[in-house]
Structure formats: C-alpha cells, structure tokens
Structure 1
Amino acid sequence: MPASLTLEEAEAVLAAAKAKAEEIGQPMNIAVCDDGGHLVVFARMDAAIKVSVDISQRKARTAIMMNLPTDALSGITQPGAELYGLEWTSGGLVSFGGGMLLSRRGDTVGAIGVSAGSVAQDMEVAAAGVAALPKTRDK
C-alpha cells in the first residue's frame, strides 16, 4: 500500500506552486488534497479572484476522482462528445486544466488544483507543485 501524502509534503507542494505564481505575477488559489480527494492544505494568495477558491478545490478533487489531470477531460466533455455533461456529476467536476495528480512510485497520493489565472498559467503553477513532491519517502 502506498504511503499517503503527509502534511509536510502537501505544504511543500503548495509552497512551490505559490512561488511559481509569484514568479509569473499571477495571484492564485491553490488546493492540495489527499488520495481520497480531501483537502490537506489551501492558500488564497492576496488578490486572487474569489470564485477560484471553489474551482481550485474542485480541480484537485476532479483529478483524484477521474485519476487524470483535468485538462485530459476538455475534449471529451464538449457538447456532442462522449462524456458531455460529466462536469455536472459528483457534486461538480472541472473539465479544464489546472488539476494534476501527485504520484510517488506510480501510486497516486493526492492532487493539486490551481485556479485564478489563464488555464495555461493554472497548469504551469500546478506543474511546479507536482515537481516539488518527493518521489520517494522513508517510512
């Protein structure tokens, strides 16, 4: 069984994402959840738009529930596509970029959701958070 995401690891993921948001000059809402989709840490940077508080958390939860980054859902949830309407299930999913899985040794241990910039900016900041997760951990 894979080791779960620790608070310390979640804080490191959030700190790296926040540093990237500061570097690109875009205040963000950043959510990190565990492998059950439960919030572990969250930050709303000064001046980040308020609607994105919910969106960032939904992005992290969507990535966990679908076991995919949220941008992978974009094409298949459009009108006429096979999974059109999916985002209205499970209490509201997000089908655009900014939610990414956190994995260790091939096992999903959590996810990050980022929102408040463009989709490209959200994905860039989320990727910085993903890169900060140690790939191994002593038990």
Structure 2
Amino acid sequence: MNLELALRMTEAAVRQAMREGAAVSVAVVDEGGNLMSFQRMEGADIAGPVLAQGKAWTSVALRGSTAELAGRTAPGGELHGLAGGRFTLLGGGVPLWSDYGEGERVVGGVGVSGGTLAQDVACAEAAALVWRTR
C-alpha cells in the first residue's frame, strides 16, 4: 500500500458514487488500520467520515467484508457479542489482500459510507478493483 495507490482507490470509489447518484465519504487504510487516504463528497452525511473509516478499519481487523460480518455477529453467529466499540458492522468495508509468497494476508482496507447499503458496497468494490488490478 502506498499513497498514490490509496488516492487512486479513493477516486475510483468517488467516481462510482457519482454513477450511483450518491454522496459518500471514502477511507483507505493500511494493514494497521491507519488512514492513508480520505475524501468526503459535497453533500455527504455528517456521520460518513467516522463510518467510512470505521468500516475500513473493521475490514482489516476482522479480515472480512463488513457486509458479510453483520450476519456473523448476530445472535448465534460465530462473532456474536463483537458489535459495538470500534467495530463498524455495516456494509461498505472491504479488506485488501496481497500474496507475499507465504500465503495471502490483509494489507489494507477501504470503507465507504453515505449511500444505501448497496451503493456503499458498490463503491468499496470499485476501489478494491483498483487494488486487485494494480
């Protein structure tokens, strides 16, 4: 992960949001969950900056898409009781994987907030596609 790539991912998410008709906040974090790049579109919700960063951080910390994690934290799920605190279990967070010869590992994450659940996920996936095709 580097700044140039993080900025390209953020821009890809914003372009997808424009196609979707959504005003979103986008965060890209490194493998430690540290913020690398952030953009908030004009008109985006006030909670978006916090939620986008939370989704990105959660996707790294739990090594999974936040859309999929919501079901796993429900009663009876393997991660039940995890909700709350720093974890943001709403769709729109996607981990970024890389293979370093010792198996895949999470090297960062992207989080999007401000649209519908489907829009946030689509924007996060657009950013992740930049990572996968770098």
Distance 1:104 1:82 in 2: 25
Distance in 2 separating the partners of 1:108 and 1:36: 9
CA distance in 2, matches of 1:12, 1:134: 12
Cα deviations by residue, 1:88-115 (Å, 9 ceiling, x for unpaired): 2xx4201121000122333422100000
Could you tell me which amino acid in structure 2 is paired with residue 13 of structure 1?
Answer: M
* Equivalent position SS for 2:89: coil
4+ residue runs over 4 A deviation:
none
Mean Cα deviation higher: 51-60 or 71-80: 71-80
**2:112 matched residue in structure 1:** 114
The one of 60, 64, 70 aligned to 2:60 = 64
- Find the residue that maps to 2:131 and give its secondary structure: coil
Matched residues, number: 130
The 5-angstrom pairing of residues 17-96 of structure 1 reads 17-88=13-84, 91-96=85-90
Could you tell me which runs of 5 or more consecutive residues in structure 2 were left unpaired when the two chains were aligned: none
In the TM superposition, what is the alpha-carbon distance from 1:122 to its structure 2 partner? 0.3
The one-letter code of the counterpart of 2:119 is: Q
Matched, 1:97 2:91: yes
| TM-score scaled by length of structure 2 | 0.89
Is the Cα–Cα contact under 8 Å of residues 68 and 101 in structure 1 kept in the other structure?
A: yes
TM-score by length of 1: 0.86
8 A contact 1:104–1:135 mirrored in 2: no
Q: Work out the CA distance in 2 between the residues paired with 1:55 and 1:108.
A: 20
Distance, in Å, in 2 between the alignment partners of 1:107 and 1:85 is 25
| Unaligned stretches of 5+ residues in structure 1 | none
Equivalent pairs: percent with the same residue? Answer: 36
RMSD: 1.5
